[in-house]
Structure 1
Amino acid sequence: MPNPSDYIALGSQSEEETEPELEEDSEETEEEQQEEGFIPVMESPRVLAEKESKNGEATVCSNAGESGENSQGNEWNRGDIDGLFCPICMEAWTTTGDHHVCCLPCGHIFGFSCIRKWLQQQGTTKKCPQCNRKCTLKDVRKLFASRVVAIDGESQKRIQSLEAKCISLDKKNAALIKKEAEWKKKEAEWKKREALLQRELHQLKEKTIYLEHLLDVKPRTLGHPPSMGGYCVPSLGSEFNGQGPFILQKELGVDGARLFDIDASSKIILMTRRLQGLGGMHVLTKMSLVAPYTRQDISLPTGSKAVRDLHICPSDGSLSLFASLGKKLSVLSTKINNFILAYDLPAPAWSCSWDLNGSHQIYAGLQNGSLVVFDMRQTARPLEFVNGLTSNPVHTIYSLHNSTLPSGVTAVLSASSAGICQWNFGGSEERQPVVLETGNQGACISLAYCPSSDDIIASFRPRIDNSNEMAYSQHLLTPAIGQGVQGSHVHLKRFGSNCYQKLAVTCANVNDVRLPRSAVMNIESHGCLFASGDELTGF
């Protein structure tokens, strides 16, 4: 018997023929079947289309199990068409109409019109085209389903098992992600703790070095006069014997440092320095006096040039005053490391000072010998401006206590190469500057003042007869280093508002070009001490 799933489409009979017409043709088709030995079936629309495109050539349709090519050239796959197409005509069945999906008692599924024609053509021995099980047209049952697909039980179990494994893996993955996030958080905490421990370790090392240094320095200082950074520390009003309560504790190297001031309450040192290299910039550097001695550079305002003088406010350690050669008088806040005030001056500033009796007034000594008073509450213009007795630069200026001055009057002490003057500001009366009598000591190059004791030390060097004394009042930027010459220190004491008494004069080795710095310190149980440098010995 020929395989029912293989057939040749020959005729062009329409699928829309009525049942009586098909019954009349059944006898003729049975006779032809017996004579020719094959079963003719109805041509599908796909086959008709292919025949028309091939000019009437016959087309052989293969069964669903064999491989072929469709009109687009794609390969047929049995697994792709099972449950979708009738195995007789290879056309998709429908849920309505003649080609309605139906089945035989054996369970095989066909299109209704195809299986009906098949059984009609079988004659008396009607069988299933696929399994040859006997059946009749009455055994055909329509199925009301859009698609019939047989599910493999083993595959279904495998799919369910894989789905369960996927769910389990998803849960494990979520748990691992959660653990990873926790570990990353712990790692960040450990790194932070490690950084803190490293900082503490560094501080402990610094303290250890400091204590070892103290243990090493103390035996060497017993029985010897201590020194302070290379400056001798003579006692005022007595012989210059170098005695003092200072012990070197630690040396901090700073490149290019020129001026400095210390805020003891905040334990910081503020210094001006010039960066290395040709045309190095002038900057401010704030450094902590507590280990690990951190530093921070602060840029100067535009056009400031080099800083000539600086002072930390005695009443508010967070404010600092700067006088620069760029004709600027500036106030810096060390809390925010930024300049909060900047005054324009008519000439380069050589010196500056805070008012000891209040935190609002500030003073500046200029290169042309003038003095300027500002009130920080009035930023528009200076409070007072006075011309100096000479045109020599005012290299030092100090505010004086006004306990002996009339109410509303402030006083400052200024020094230039011409000498020392006291200037009074405020009040209704016009007051002339008071020139301090120091004798014919030469050109004044340095002035130190102690507010708590009213002690004053002025340093002098020999005066050279020259019409331009500016040449002998060089500022700190001069490339000339100079050499030591025989000069003098004059000790003065202030009494009352305008009275001064000369207590002592001593010889000193001073620089013949540069302007040195000196200081007077009133230390408990040691009295007033004067610190200065010796240009010949280097101490």
Structure 2
Amino acid sequence: QIEPISDACLCDVTQTGPSHDSLIDSSVSAQTGVSEDPVTAAASPAGKTEADDAEGETCSICFEPWTTAGDHRLAALRCGHLFGYICISRWLTSGGNKCPQCNKPAKRGHIIFLYARKLKALDNAEEVRLKSRLELERGSRRMEQLEGAQCRQQMQLVADENVRLRKEVEELRRWRAQAAFGSSQGASLSSSQRQDSSSGGHYVFSKAVLVSQTGGSRVLSYCEPLGCLLASQPSPQATLVPGFGVKKISTATLKPSQYVPIHSKQIRGLAFSRHQDSLLLSAALDNTIKLTSLMTNTVVQAYNTGRPVWSCCWCHDNNNYIYAGLASGSVLVYDTRDTSTHIQELAPLRSSCPVVSLSYIPRAASSMFPCGGLIAGTLEGGCFWEHMEGTTYTPHILPLESGNCTDMQVEPDSRHCLVTYRPGRANPSLRCVLMELSRTPQTDSRQPPVCSCSPVQTFTAGSSCKLLTKNAVFKSPAGGGATLVCAGDEATNSTMVWDAGTGALLQKMPADLPVLDICPFEVSQSSFVASLTEKMLKVYKWQ
């Protein structure tokens, strides 16, 4: 049904619309192809631009400007196209059920008024394109800045290594000159020991790895099944994941790969079992020890010790048992099959000093020391807890110096332990004493055998020892039954390597900060040793 058109509307159309003669002239011109008068075209240099501007101001049905009021006021359909209200209303009423411009379905009820005095759309396509290019340039610049920072860091590492090599060259030249002229007997002896070391092999710097930019690294361990080093450190994203964990460092590429969160406070001990693949035992000052699966990077078991834990280790005679050395001097024994609490507490025999080191020496067919048990080192001395059967332990106090012991490490094959003493009044230098474990033969059934130790070799370092550095004693990669001793020297910020048999200083490997932990390991029949500081890990290869 067509709505009647009022006389007022007809008058408006007659007054405002184009005349019949002009429409005929336009139609004829379009059909005959007669172009516009050249004079008129020349008088309008804007040409197409003016037509484009007018297109946004006129109704596409009657080609007349729309108004802000009245019947020809500005209106729009749902598709977004603009018309004069009276024109689009007549169009839809007279049977046109589509938009005149896009042919989308429309009806008279879809018409809405636009309340705008002046409608004008700015062409910002160029602005959007320039902003997109600007973001791309900014991203490229950030990548270049990151690459520049990495290059600067690598240059600094190369420069440090260059300085170290220069110092080594100067030292070698000095030793060579001393050996050639025979300046002193001590110098000749040192030179000959150096030559013997060079003939058997020595450690060569391989790579430095940044563990923590802010510092806070403390202990180091090696996971042989996964082929990675584990270094403790504070969380690199403390605001998101607070606490402490370990960073994996691949021994194949010597690159850090992943951070695993574990504890809420500083980690003081890391240990692996010889039988439990990729199961990490960790001890921390948050009164807990935890078992973490490095295959899934998740904590699978946690024990609350009630007191800060300074050290931990596995039982190598029965992998179900684990040990935790407490700040009170006690050692708690746990059975991993019991997830509730500890099964036994080994109380301190002397003063209640923190158990700074725990090492388990397994049973072996040795005439000197066949028994197995736990060696616990405190600041006041050491004790060997002989593991009899099940949960029975017999204590043996080791004859060590009282008050200066900072670390005890074990070499299980040779049945030796390395005891570190801090400088004191009687001895102003750091000392590492290699002890041989022994057990007196049982001659009387009423007198149980006594386990003890005796010094074999003493190694001296600098005069400073403020940190509880964990040193190492292990078999020499050169073979022949030789043993090496590695210790951190705070006075020179270096790792010192001695021959345990002769007591000769073989090498002095520099570090950026005091060395906190030392870990030997083997990869693809090659021997390495890693030294950890608060921020860096340095790896040396035996050649």
Q: Normalised by the size of structure 2, how large is the TM-score?
A: 0.49
Q: Normalised by the size of structure 1, how large is the TM-score?
A: 0.49
Q: Which has the larger radius of gyration?
A: 1
More strand per residue? 2
